[in-house]
Amino acid sequence: MGAAIRIRFVWSSGVLAAVVFALTGCQTVHEVMVDAINNQAKPMGTSYHLEVHDPSGGVEKELGVQAVADVKDALAARGLFEAPSKTKPDMVIDLEYGVGPGQIKILHRPPPVVMMGTLETSDDDFGDKPVLVFEKYITLSAREPAPAEAAGGRGRAAPRGDELWNLHVSVEDQKKELAPYLPVLASVSIDYMGENSGKEKRILVKADDAASSLRRREAQAAPAH
């Protein structure tokens, strides 16, 4: 008889977190929320300059390095490349990342569902209860470079180019640390850069597979030498 597998679904205001437990171990599956829009009248281009907005103000340097590295891997996997210094890129991409303020949500946890065998242990941890959850997110906003002759006057900000596309990916659960979620968020972002999702979408991602998937897709997109 195959190993008994217990699948538990936790619903929070329409947000699902799923954890699959087996007798041989466990694997976490994150539900990533994706919201993408694009400017269909403008071409996406291929080269970019990345502007990073560090929420820690440079305090969490290791986290910032990881966030930028994972996002650049995702951009490369999409077929985009960083424009050389002093070269005008096709787009300027603003990167924002961080953890949102905690908020209370009511979680409904139904009884476990048993598959491939008989569940021998009981689990009474189900029902409704309030929990504190945090949004972990990456936001990418691409715009045209400002014309070279454009400059802000005294007391005025320099003009910005038209927006080309915008992408927000996030995971919401009870954990507050961002670093373990960065590969998950970056791997999901690949297919939605420059796209229009139409509405917010939910994508299930295996946490253990996210980093390897990100690196594999980057390697596949890299030009042959």
Claim: this prediction has a pTM higher than 0.85: no
Could you read off the pLDDT of 179-197 as tens digits, one per residue? Answer: 999 999 999 999 999 999 9
Domains of the chain: 32-104+133-146+160-221 (3.30.160.670)
Could you read off the pLDDT of 41-60 as tens digits, one per residue? Answer: 999 899 999 999 988 887 89
HSE (CB half, 13 Å, CA atoms) of 33? 16
Runs of H (alpha helix) within the chain: 61-77, 182-189, 207-221
Could you read off the pLDDT of 143-175 as tens digits, one per residue? Answer: 999 876 555 556 566 678 999 999 999 999 999
Of 129 and 91, which is predicted with more confidence?
Answer: 91
- Mean pLDDT (whole number) for 101-114: 78
Measured at the alpha carbon of residue 55, what is the angle toward residues 49 and 57, in degrees to the nearest 5?
90
Judge contact between 53 and 92, C-beta under 8 A: no
Alpha-carbon distance of 17 to 28, in angstroms, equals: 9
